[in-house]
């Protein structure tokens, strides 16, 4: 991937030019890498560290802290179920159990066909539709069996 990551340097220069301090460009550079490769590898973490002057260990801490960054490939449809208290009180655990049953996978796994990845995440700041999930870039809730069935039947392409 080294040659591939270096191919991002023209875009990286544009991103870096927007900031007074190079380290402020870390998150946008991580987004750039993930957009291109679908995940952030250790090599990409080193490259971002070089571009920003930030220690690779700190880049790795950022990558593993935020749920929006991935260190392994995911399915075409990423279902992230909120398991914070408001969602749990309104049924997130049963929704998650139903998803695991329907998909035949556990949290952190991807279906064998590569279509769905299931994750549990902390608060997604949409308590008004609890229990809820983020399906790719869309919020779905309240997350009951019919909403789950609709998401799965549509292959994750929710409106």
User: What domains are defined for the chain?
Assistant: 2-65 (1.10.10), 77-153 (3.40.30.10)
**Rounded mean pLDDT for each run of 10 residues along the chain, 159 residues in total:** 81 97 98 94 97 98 92 94 97 98 97 96 94 95 96 80
Q: Give whole-number Cα distances, 116 to 40, 48, 77, 113, in Å.
A: 19, 29, 5, 8
Phi/psi for 21 (5° steps) reads -115, 130
**What is residue 147's predicted lDDT score, i.e. its pLDDT?**
96
C-alpha–C-alpha distance, residues 105 and 53, integer Å = 40
C-alpha–C-alpha distance, residues 122 and 26, integer Å = 23
Model confidence, pTM: 0.77
């Amino acid at each position: 991937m080294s040659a591939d990551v270096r191919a991002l340097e023209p875009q990286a220069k544009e991103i870096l030019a927007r900031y007074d301090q190079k380290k402020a460009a870390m998150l946008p550079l991580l987004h750039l890498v993930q957009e291109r490769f679908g995940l952030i590898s250790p090599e990409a973490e080193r490259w971002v560290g070089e571009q920003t002057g930030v220690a690779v260990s700190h880049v790795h801490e950022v990558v593993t802290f935020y749920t929006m960054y991935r260190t392994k490939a995911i399915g075409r449809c990423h279902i992230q179920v909120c398991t914070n208290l408001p969602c749990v009180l309104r049924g997130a655990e049963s929704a998650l159990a139903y998803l695991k049953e329907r998909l035949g996978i556990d949290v952190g796994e991807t279906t064998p066909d590569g279509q769905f990845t299931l994750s549990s995440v902390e608060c997604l700041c949409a308590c008004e539709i609890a229990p809820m999930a983020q399906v790719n870039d869309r919020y779905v809730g309240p997350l009951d069996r019919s909403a789950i069935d609709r998401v799965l039947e549509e292959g994750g392409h929710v409106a």
